[in-house]
Amino acid sequence: MSWLTFEVLCFYLNLISIGAFILVNHLKTFKSIRDRLGLAGQARKKLDFLAYSQFDLHWWSAWFTQVGVCVLTLVLKNDKGYDIT
């Protein structure tokens, strides 16, 4: 049962991270990994934004989900003092 809860939690954290990624990129000028390396060319103007930034979105989602799970673990930790080992 806890594994299913973890999967659902990660699913919703991933949805929230995609929304946060789009919001951050809307509010701040976005410079992708390809732009920083000089490999973008004219692809930014020809591709859809999410297709263009798919690798950045992958790393953003992984980071966001890991941080979210760590924060929720600290917030929802068991303070009852039970020994579960």
Share of residues in the chain with pLDDT > 70 (%): 69
Query: Is 69 exposed, middle or buried (CB count within 10 Å of its CB: 0-12, 13-18, 19+)?
Result: middle
Q: Say if residue 54's pLDDT is above 80.
A: no
Give mean pLDDT, residues 26-33: 74
| Rounded CA separation 26/17 (Å) | 14
If you average pLDDT over every residue of the chain, what do you get?
78
Q: 16: closest CA among 60, 46, 49?
A: 60
| Whole-prediction pTM | 0.63
pLDDT at site 16: 92
Give mean pLDDT, residues 49-74: 82
